Structure 1
Amino acid sequence: MQYHVDGELVAAEDATVSVRNRGFQYGDAAFETLRAYGGQVFAWAAHASRLRASCDALGIDHALSDRDLRGRVHATLAANDLANASVRLTVTRGDQSGSFAPGDDVDPTVVVVADELPRGGVGGERAWRSPASAATVAVERVADDALPAVAKTNNYLNGVLARIDAGDADEAILLDSEGRVTGGATSNVFFVDDGVVHTPSLDLPVNPGITRWAVVELAEDIGITVEEGHYTPQDLRAADELFLTNTTWEVRPVSEYDDTTYSTCKVGARLARAFAEEVEQRHY
């Protein structure tokens, strides 16, 4: 495997960053997880926009154009002969010694790594083996005024601690300080009640997932009503079906949440099919 580090393709075993790198020292970095289908990144413009928002929230100026970043991603895919893959694009503040507060002379570090995934689209294979189990955890979602939810940073301890607290469950469901559902550690949450799809609104500390956005758009296209609001775990447990979205999973049904089981995911399956058709049309 070859990875892209600071503008150079290097062998995986040589792909390193300095121990002085602020991404390593403090989690002072932003990242995007991308999905490549047929050699092209899905919804690149949306991912690039969110990465800009993350870097703006952290005050990191990497001085690279979206075209340059996309070129590095595609160069990594091509170097590894990957058409269908998960790609992580990371931008750290760079190397700096001594001071906790960042200086003005830091040169950002940009890294791209990729891993093979199955073909997507119609007739493709899922990246997950079975419906997910999920559990409400005691770990609270970090408040938006402490760390903006729009910022996908390398300091993912909130999600790591939540996953630990979730035990054997595939996903941890985090609440805010008022007990409202915000989403999963690495996913957005949707539930269905009487045919209407519900998902936590973005005025809560909810990361604006790219697949979340795509699913909401596709639901409107095929006549499924989507409502955004504030919900509790009880709302999820009383729902007819529950599913999760993220870049790698796409649309993944939940079979078990806390002490509740779900025997169907018909609306989720329609949306998964619509997503697969969109991918097929765009990329294959």
Structure 2
Amino acid sequence: MSDELLYHVDGELVPTNEATVSVDDRGFRYGDAAFETLRAYGGTIFGWEAHVERLERTCDALSLEHGLSTADLRERVRETLAANDLADAYVRLSITRGVQPGKLTPQSDVEPTVVVYVKPLPRGGVDGESVWDGPATVQSVETRRVPDAAIPAGAKTHNYLNGILARTELEDDADEALLRDIDGNVAEGATSNLFFVRDGVLHTPTADGDLLAGITRSVVLEVAGEAGVPVEEGEYELEDVLEAEEAFLTNRTWELRPVAELDRAEIGGGKVTERLSRRYDERVEEVCY
């Protein structure tokens, strides 16, 4: 891998300092774009099919008809990893509506802007290492999760203002913001999903609520079922999490990250968290290495 990474921008591999998009691009102007955060293990994109399906659901929610095939997108990702000689990496794939006149109403004819960028990550799987230095310090915030009735909660778009506002509330030592919905129920982190354990039962806010149900979250639910860990999805108050025996966050980069404390109350990981983390690593090892 060279010192300067190469990004894939509209079909061309270019050095980082040349990887640009137009100021008239709707992804820049309005956040009018879909994206996926992927992780490559041993050169294989873990959960590629699930990511592509969610990307298409996001594009459908935006009425963004980009006209790109799954094979085309996958080849761009493969080329970017190969050009940077990366097997284990963070990968972000973005599709914007492209350059259009400066009007809020989008045009039906789309020439999408497609960007793939990468950065190296440690090896994953059973012989891997965490990308985080330690368990997360989490803080609940006053910013509420945008309701699904306003912006589709399951759409993964470039508009991350909700999460940004939540993160601006954090104290200096906090790693993640925990958002609640407008009714006060716990929803998710700014970039993560939440799990907690009480009386041996794994709990997580329901995907029917105002949250983006992550693909890592889905894998955790699968491996929990395989491990015989009872699971409940529901609506929870902040106090329910504060009284938990264990808690952890999930996203594609962190995988499973234990919660050291929430609002200064100590929680930590535990046997269930460790068991599911091991199962997750085994799944990655089996699929990718």
TM-score, shorter chain, exceeding 0.5: yes
1:33-182 to 2 correspondences below 5 Å? 33-168=37-172, 169-182=174-187
Alignment correspondent of 1:282? 287
Residue 106 of structure 1 and its aligned partner are, at CA, apart by: 3.0
Residue 164 of structure 1 and its aligned partner are, at CA, apart by: 0.9
Q: Which one is further off, 58-67 or 39-48?
A: 58-67
Aligned equivalents of 1:264, 1:114: Cα separation in 2:
30
Alignment correspondent of 2:275? 270
Aligned equivalents of 1:272, 1:11: Cα separation in 2:
36
Alignment correspondent of 1:197? 202
SS of equivalent to 1:251? strand
Residue 263 of structure 1 and its aligned partner are, at CA, apart by: 4.5
Alignment correspondent of 1:234? 239
Aligned equivalents of 1:76, 1:164: Cα separation in 2:
33
TM-align CA RMSD:
0.9
Residue 5 (structure 1) aligned with residue 15 (structure 2): no
Aligned equivalents of 2:277, 2:219: Cα separation in 1:
11
Aligned equivalents of 2:106, 2:96: Cα separation in 1:
12
Aligned equivalents of 1:231, 1:176: Cα separation in 2:
10
Question: Which amino acid letter does the alignment assign opposite residue 175 of structure 1?
Answer: R
Question: Which amino acid letter does the alignment assign opposite residue 77 of structure 1?
Answer: L
Aligned equivalents of 1:271, 1:263: Cα separation in 2:
14
Name the CA shift for 1:254/1:263 in 2 (closer, same or farther; >3 Å). closer
Residue 68 of structure 1 and its aligned partner are, at CA, apart by: 1.1
Residue ranges of structure 2 left out of the alignment (5+ in a row): none
Question: Which amino acid letter does the alignment assign opposite residue 112 of structure 1?
Answer: V
Alignment correspondent of 1:222? 227
Aligned residues: 284
Question: Which amino acid letter does the alignment assign opposite residue 248 of structure 1?
Answer: T
Question: Which amino acid letter does the alignment assign opposite residue 30 of structure 1?
Answer: A
User: Structure 1 residue aligned with 2:258, among 253, 258, 278?
Assistant: 253
Residue 184 (structure 1) aligned with residue 189 (structure 2): yes
SS of equivalent to 1:207? coil
Q: Deviations over 1:44-96 (max 9, x none)?
A: 00000000011110111111111111111111000000000000000101001
Aligned equivalents of 2:30, 2:116: Cα separation in 1:
19
Q: What's the TM-score once normalised by structure 2's chain length?
A: 0.97
Q: What's the TM-score once normalised by structure 1's chain length?
A: 0.98
Aligned equivalents of 2:202, 2:92: Cα separation in 1:
30
1:22-41 to 2 correspondences below 5 Å? 22-41=26-45
Name the CA shift for 1:55/1:264 in 2 (closer, same or farther; >3 Å). closer
SS of equivalent to 1:276? helix
Aligned equivalents of 2:231, 2:46: Cα separation in 1:
23
Question: Which amino acid letter does the alignment assign opposite residue 36 of structure 2?
Answer: E
Aligned equivalents of 1:44, 1:64: Cα separation in 2:
16
Aligned equivalents of 1:224, 1:74: Cα separation in 2:
36
Q: Which one is further off, 36-45 or 97-106?
A: 97-106
Identity %: 57
Residue 208 (structure 1) aligned with residue 218 (structure 2): no
SS of equivalent to 2:283? helix
Aligned equivalents of 2:61, 2:153: Cα separation in 1:
10
